[in-house]
Structure 1
Amino acid sequence: MQPFAIERLRRDHAFSMNVNHFHDTYEIYYLLSGKRHYFIQDRSYYIQEGGLVCIDKNVLHKTRNVDAAPHERILLSFDDRFIRSIGEDAAEQLLVLFQQNHHVFSLSGANRTVVENLLFHILREQQQEQSGWQLNSKALFTQLLIICSRLTDKLNTVDEQPQPHNPKMYEIVSYINEEFRNRLTLASISETFYISPSYFCRSFKETTGFSFVEYLNNVRIREAQRLLRETKLKVIHIAEQSGFDSVAHFGRVFKQVTSQTPLECRKLMRHVL
């Protein structure tokens, strides 16, 4: 896998991400046109063209439709190897965007022009592949991160999307994020928060874009990946500490979410590090 990547994509029809989504890379999502709902960790945001979304590594996120209108976005991703390749002190400057409370910004005027020009320049370098394109792309990418980091205090932040009809869903998301190691079921959540299972399932999906089981599995697998990366615990103990009742169930869900077995994931993570 390359230490950084960029992709431009236009969709002319309604589209919501149908894959589980968190990863060990940093991500910048820029909306060129259209409108999107963007769920990040435990909050949902409404973004329009000029919207810049900064996703830290291992943060659960998902985009979904606002309407059936087309939208176009540019997606950039990079990992810690990219930061290390620039210099020992690079992280302090380049990761400012990802280490603050605000995740979503709205660009306009000259700021929008500068950022879009850099994005298009990086895309052209990638498409044309002229001599030195990889080195120039890295330089442009670094420049983009520096400019965006400098602009954070000046940019308009996008507020959380109001959800007056189901504020309880955010309570439940926070509850899952805290209690995922314990046994959580549709029935237990419904009983704890005094809501019907059918209302809970419908409202949770509308708010987050995930079903309850999808979200819970993602949170648990994200914790399992952290333990695989940072500890020498056996897989059976990682399964227990991540909230799974059995190592067999853990293995099936892990493969479903990551397309790898836990041991394959541990080997790959340590190779990258």
Structure 2
Amino acid sequence: MLLYEIERLRRDQPFSMTMNHFHDHYEIYYLLRGKRYYFIQDRSYLIQEGDLVFIDKNELHKTRNADIHLHERILLNFDDSWIRSIDEKASTHLLVPFQQKQHIFSLTGANRTFVENLLFSLLREKHQALGGWQLNSKALLTQLLFFCSRITDKISSAQEDPPAYNPKIFEIVAYINEQYRNRLTLASISESFHISPSYFCRTFKETTGFSFIEYLNNVRIREAQRLLRETKLKVIHIAEQSGFDSVAHFGRVFKQVTTQTPLECRKFIRHNV
């Protein structure tokens, strides 16, 4: 089944994402109004009106409040099947914006007007659902992705979080991303990076939007999903290779993060290849 979704949403009250968030499809986030902090993989970015955000498959991400509570955004999601339905070889060109180190495109002037017109047209096509709307939506999305592929080097990325966010936290995030298979605890990381546990917990949450355990579990479960998808390893071995001490703990955390058991996930993957 093809995945393609687009929605426009405005919020007038403070809002920060509470759910752990990564998925096996592509996401485009466009901020029409306001400001947001956007954590992607191992960095936080301050995004503003006119910023276009590209999230690749299985990239950990989360948005949270900035100093302006009101914000309005457009969110577009699609999967590999949707891209292949445009053209079997389309991914070579269309997915370039998701494969760059630069996640954020800051749009101004004619570039901003062009992108907003494409997004509004995509919203209108999905809402009206007239004959041929899917075909036209694919054409519009193709224009958007080609445009962003070609201007990658011409527009500046959004600024990263201000220096008030301790760069040591980003060192710790990078360390977790590399060492998640090993036993990692609050105490061991605090000792290794010479900071107090209480300061670490508070600053990590402020910077990333995740608690230490939430982030570690997400990194480990993302690896487990990859192993379920790409190997025939037994669940007990996947648990070990993902950094879990026991298969029971692995199963509980996996279902908490994904709403599926590991075996349900593997069965779903096989049925949807």
Q: Normalising by structure 1, report the TM-score.
A: 0.97
Can you list the C-alpha shifts for 1:18-47, whole angstroms capped at 9, x where unaligned? 001011011111000000001111111101
Contact kept? 2:15, 2:69, Cα under 8 Å: no
TM-superposed CA distance for 1:88, in Å, is 2.9
1:119 aligned partner: 119
User: Which residue pairs with 1:34 in the alignment?
Assistant: 34
- Which position in structure 2 is the counterpart of 1:218? 218
Correspondence for 2:162: 162
Aligned to 1:174: 174
CA displacement at 1:164 relative to structure 2: 4.1
Helix, strand or coil at the partner of 2:271? helix
Secondary structure of the corresponding residue to residue 31 of structure 2: strand
2:228 aligns with: 228
- Give the Cα–Cα distance (whole angstroms) in 2 for the partners of residues 132 and 84 of structure 1: 18
Map of 2:244 onto structure 1: 244
The answer on 1:145 being equivalent to 2:145 is yes
Separation in 2, partners of 1:35, 1:80: 30
Q: Which runs of 5+ in 2 are unaligned?
A: none
- What SS is found at the alignment partner of 1:156? coil
Distance (Å, rounded) in 2 between the aligned partners of 1:165 and 1:215 = 17
1:68 CA displacement: 4.7
Q: CA deviation at 1:5?
A: 1.4
Q: 1:230 & 1:165 partners in 2: Cα distance? A: 37
SS in 1 for 2:101: coil
Instruction: Give the counterpart letter for 1:122 in structure 2.
Output: L
Match of 1:76 in 2: 76
1-side partners of 2:92 and 2:2: how far apart?
22
Indicate the SS of the match to 2:139. Answer: helix
Deviation string 1:106-145 (CA, Å, 9 cap, x unpaired) is 0010110010001001111111111221222122122211
Residue identity in the other structure for 1:138: K
C-alpha displacement of 1:165:
5.0
SS of the equivalent of 2:201 reads helix
Whether contact under 8 Å (1:13, 1:68) holds in the other structure is no
* Residue 148 (structure 1) shift: 1.7
1:87 CA displacement: 1.9
Distance 1:155 1:3 in 2: 29
| Paired letter, 1:129 | A
Partner of 1:43: 43
CA distances 1:200-221 after superposition (whole Å, capped 9, x unpaired): 0000000000000000000000
Q: CA deviation at 1:254?
A: 0.3
TM-score, structure 2 normalization = 0.97
Offset of residue 155 of structure 1? 1.6
Matched, 1:200 2:187: no
Give 1:67 shift: 2.4
Moved over 3 A (4+): none
Q: Work out the CA distance in 1 between the residues paired with 2:71 and 2:14.
A: 9
- Alignment check: 8 A CA contact 2:43 2:170 kept: yes
Matched with 2:190 is 190
Q: One-letter code of the match for 2:152?
A: T
The within-5 A match list for 1:50-69 is 50-69=50-69
The residue that corresponds to 1:89 in the other structure is: 89
- What code does the residue aligned with 1:225 have? Q
Question: Does the Cα contact within 8 Å between 1:14 and 1:67 map onto a contact in 2?
Answer: no
- Unpaired runs of 5+ residues, structure 1, are none
Q: Single out whichever of 145-154 and 74-83 deviates more from structure 2.
A: 145-154
Asked if structure 2 preserves the Cα contact closer than 8 Å seen for 1:37 and 1:65, the reply is: yes
Distance 1:77 1:127 in 2: 15
Q: How far is 1:104 from its partner?
A: 0.7
Please state how far the C-alpha of 1:175 moved relative to its aligned partner: 0.5
In the TM superposition, what is the alpha-carbon distance from 1:163 to its structure 2 partner? Answer: 2.9
